[in-house]
Amino acid sequence: MGVLSCFSHHTLCLCRRSVTQTRRPLFLQSPAFNNSVWRKTQSSSSISIGAIPFDLSPPPIDHDLYDDMAVAGAKVSEDWVIETFNNDDEALDAVENGNVVVDLSNYGRIRVSGDDRIQFLHNQSTANFEALSEGGGCDTVFVTPTARTIDIAQAWIMKTAVTLVVSPSTSGRISEMLNKYIFFGDKVEIQDISKKTCLFALLGPKSNQVMMDLNLGNLVGQPYGSHKHYNVGGNPVTVAVGSVISEEGFSLLMSPSSAGLIWKTLLRQGTTPMGSNALEMYRILQGRPAPGSELTDEFNVLEAGLWNSISLNKGCYKGQETIARLITYDGIKQKLWGIQLSSSVNPGSPITVEGKKVGKLTSYTAGKGQNGHFGLGYIKKKAASKGDTVIIGDNVTGIVADVPYLARQQHPLISNAKP
The reported pLDDT for the residue numbered 22 is 34
Note down pLDDT in tens along the chain; length 419 residues: 444 444 333 333 323 233 333 333 323 333 333 333 344 433 333 333 333 344 444 444 445 677 778 777 899 888 889 999 999 999 999 999 999 999 999 999 999 999 999 999 999 999 999 999 999 999 999 999 999 999 999 999 999 999 999 999 999 999 999 999 999 999 999 999 998 999 999 999 999 999 999 999 999 999 999 999 998 878 889 999 999 999 999 999 999 889 999 999 999 999 999 999 999 999 999 999 999 999 999 999 999 999 999 998 888 899 999 999 999 998 899 999 999 999 999 999 999 999 999 999 999 999 988 889 999 999 999 999 999 999 999 999 999 999 999 999 987 654 444 33
User: Where a domain ends, among 151, 173, 194?
Assistant: 194
Same domain, 55 and 202: yes
User: Rounded CA gap, 353 and 355, in Å?
Assistant: 5
User: Rounded CA gap, 223 and 408, in Å?
Assistant: 14
Same domain, 207 and 156: no
The length of the chain is: 419
**Is residue 160 within 8 Å of residue 116, measured between CB atoms?**
no
Same domain, 277 and 302: no
The reported pLDDT for the residue numbered 42 is 33
The reported pLDDT for the residue numbered 353 is 97
The reported pLDDT for the residue numbered 76 is 87
**Is residue 271 within 8 Å of residue 202, measured between CB atoms?**
yes
Which of 108, 116, 109, 126 has the alpha carbon at shortest distance from 182? 116
Same domain, 224 and 306: no
Q: Could you tell me if residue 6 is left (phi over 0), alpha (psi between -120 and 50 degrees) or otherwise beta?
A: beta
CATH number of the domain to which 261 belongs:
3.30.1360.120
**Is residue 99 within 8 Å of residue 271, measured between CB atoms?**
yes
User: Where a domain ends, among 269, 284, 299?
Assistant: 284
User: Where a domain ends, among 254, 284, 314?
Assistant: 284
Same domain, 50 and 174: no
Q: What is the pTM of this model?
A: 0.84
Domain that holds residue 252: 5-105+197-284
The reported pLDDT for the residue numbered 368 is 87
The domain total for the chain is: 3
Same domain, 227 and 277: yes
**Is residue 108 within 8 Å of residue 167, measured between CB atoms?**
yes
The reported pLDDT for the residue numbered 223 is 97
The reported pLDDT for the residue numbered 415 is 44
User: Rounded CA gap, 194 and 410, in Å?
Assistant: 31
Number of neighbouring beta carbons within 10 Å of residue 155: 24
The reported pLDDT for the residue numbered 257 is 86
CATH number of the domain to which 185 belongs:
3.30.70.1400
Same domain, 73 and 201: yes
Same domain, 309 and 394: yes
**Is residue 339 within 8 Å of residue 399, measured between CB atoms?**
yes
